[in-house]
Structure 1
Amino acid sequence: MRKQHLLWTGLVVLTFILAGCFQGEQSMEEIDAPEDAEPVDSLEEIDTESDEGTASETEGDDSSTPVGEAETVPRQLYLLDANGMVASQTLNLPLEESKEVAAQALQHLVKGGPVTPMLPNGFQAVLPEGTEILSLNLQEDGTIIVDVSQEFENYKAEDERKILEAMTYTLTQFENVERMKLRMNGTPLETMPVNGTPLGDGYSKTNGINIAENDTVDLVDSKPVTMYYPARQGDDSYYVPVTQYVEGEQEEMYSNIIRELVDGPGYQTNATQVFNGQTGLADVPTLTDGVLELEFTQDILAQEGHPVIADEVMETIVRTMTELQDVEAVQIEVESVDQLVNESGEAYEEPVTSDMFIPAEKL
Structure 2
Amino acid sequence: MTHYRLIRRAALAGALALPILTTGCGLFSQPASESIDPPQNSTQNVSADVDNGQVTAVQGDQSQMTLYLRDRNGLLAPITVMSTLGQDEKPAQKALEMLVDGSSFASEIPDGFSAVLPKGTVVKQLDIIADQKQAVVDFSKEFGNYDAADERKIVEAVTYTLTSQPGITNVKLMMDGKELTSMPVDAMPIDEPLTRAVGINLEAADGVDYSTSAPVTIYFSALSPDNEPYYVPVTRLVNRSNNRAKTAIEQLISGPIGDLPLKAVMTPDVVVKNVTKAKDVVTVDLQDDSYQPGSQEPAEMLQAVVLSLTENTGLSKVQIKLNGKSDFVDTNNQSYSEPVTRLEHINAFKS
Q: TM-score, normalised by structure 2?
A: 0.75
CA contact 1:75–1:93 (8 Å) conserved in 2: yes
- Greater Cα radius of gyration, structure 1 or 2: 1
2:37 is matched with which residue? Answer: none
Deviation track 1:81-105 (CA, whole Å, cap 9, x = no partner) reads 0111111111111134575111100
Structure 2 CA distance for aligned equivalents of residues 228 and 198 of structure 1: 26
What is the identity, as a one-letter code, of the residue corresponding to 2:261?
Answer: N
CA contact 2:274–2:286 (8 Å) conserved in 1: no
Structure 2 CA distance for aligned equivalents of residues 336 and 144 of structure 1: 43
1:328 is matched with which residue? Answer: 316
1:226 is matched with which residue? Answer: 217
Structure 1 CA distance for aligned equivalents of residues 136 and 326 of structure 2: 49
Judged with a 3 Å threshold, the aligned counterparts in structure 2 of structure 1 residues 351 and 177 are, in CA distance, closer, same or farther, namely same
Structure 1 CA distance for aligned equivalents of residues 324 and 192 of structure 2: 49
2:80 is matched with which residue? Answer: 90
Structure 2 CA distance for aligned equivalents of residues 94 and 229 of structure 1: 30
Deviation track 1:220-251 (CA, whole Å, cap 9, x = no partner) reads 33311111112211333221111112334344
What is the identity, as a one-letter code, of the residue corresponding to 2:146?
Answer: Y
CA contact 2:285–2:324 (8 Å) conserved in 1: no
CA contact 1:276–1:299 (8 Å) conserved in 2: no
2:232 is matched with which residue? Answer: 240
Query: Counterparts of 1:201-350 in structure 2 under 5 Å?
Result: 201-214=192-205, 216-234=207-225, 235-251=227-243, 253-281=244-272, 283-299=273-289, 301=291, 304-325=292-313, 327-335=315-323, 337=325, 339-350=327-338
Judged with a 3 Å threshold, the aligned counterparts in structure 2 of structure 1 residues 227 and 218 are, in CA distance, closer, same or farther, namely same
Deviation at 1:325, TM superposition (A): 3.3
Q: Secondary structure at the match of 2:253?
A: helix
1:123 is matched with which residue? Answer: 113
Deviation at 1:322, TM superposition (A): 0.7
Q: Secondary structure at the match of 1:324?
A: helix
Query: Where does structure 2 lack aligned partners over 5 or more consecutive residues?
Result: 1-57
Deviation at 1:326, TM superposition (A): 5.1
Q: Secondary structure at the match of 1:111?
A: coil
Structure 1 CA distance for aligned equivalents of residues 293 and 197 of structure 2: 40
Structure 2 CA distance for aligned equivalents of residues 290 and 98 of structure 1: 34
Structure 2 CA distance for aligned equivalents of residues 355 and 175 of structure 1: 15
Q: Secondary structure at the match of 1:83?
A: coil
Picking from 64, 67, 71, the partner of 1:77 is 67
Structure 2 CA distance for aligned equivalents of residues 176 and 318 of structure 1: 21
CA contact 1:276–1:300 (8 Å) conserved in 2: no
Deviation at 1:338, TM superposition (A): 5.5
Deviation track 1:129-172 (CA, whole Å, cap 9, x = no partner) reads 11110100112212211011111111000000000100110000
Structure 2 CA distance for aligned equivalents of residues 184 and 157 of structure 1: 17
What is the identity, as a one-letter code, of the residue corresponding to 2:123?
Answer: I
Matched, 1:154 2:139: no
CA contact 1:258–1:280 (8 Å) conserved in 2: no
Judged with a 3 Å threshold, the aligned counterparts in structure 2 of structure 1 residues 172 and 299 are, in CA distance, closer, same or farther, namely farther
Segment of structure 1 superposing worse, 178-187 or 327-336: 327-336
Q: TM-score, normalised by structure 1?
A: 0.73
2:164 is matched with which residue? Answer: 173
Structure 2 CA distance for aligned equivalents of residues 75 and 84 of structure 1: 21
CA contact 2:204–2:238 (8 Å) conserved in 1: no
CA contact 2:128–2:136 (8 Å) conserved in 1: yes
Q: Secondary structure at the match of 2:81?
A: strand
CA contact 1:122–1:233 (8 Å) conserved in 2: yes
The aligned length equals: 288
Deviation track 1:172-225 (CA, whole Å, cap 9, x = no partner) reads 002311221111111111111111111112222111111103451123333111
Kindly report the root-mean-square deviation, in angstroms, between the aligned alpha carbons of the 2 structures. Answer: 2.3
- Name which structure has the greater RCO, CA cutoff 8 Å, separation 6+: 2
Judged with a 3 Å threshold, the aligned counterparts in structure 2 of structure 1 residues 94 and 229 are, in CA distance, closer, same or farther, namely same
Structure 1 CA distance for aligned equivalents of residues 290 and 139 of structure 2: 46
What is the identity, as a one-letter code, of the residue corresponding to 1:108?
Answer: M
CA contact 1:153–1:194 (8 Å) conserved in 2: yes
CA contact 2:320–2:326 (8 Å) conserved in 1: no
Structure 2 CA distance for aligned equivalents of residues 98 and 249 of structure 1: 47
What is the identity, as a one-letter code, of the residue corresponding to 2:98?
Answer: H
2:49 is matched with which residue? Answer: none
Query: Where does structure 1 lack aligned partners over 5 or more consecutive residues?
Result: 1-63
Structure 1 CA distance for aligned equivalents of residues 263 and 343 of structure 2: 22
Judged with a 3 Å threshold, the aligned counterparts in structure 2 of structure 1 residues 269 and 175 are, in CA distance, closer, same or farther, namely farther
CA contact 1:115–1:125 (8 Å) conserved in 2: no
Deviation at 1:314, TM superposition (A): 1.3
What is the identity, as a one-letter code, of the residue corresponding to 1:123?
Answer: F
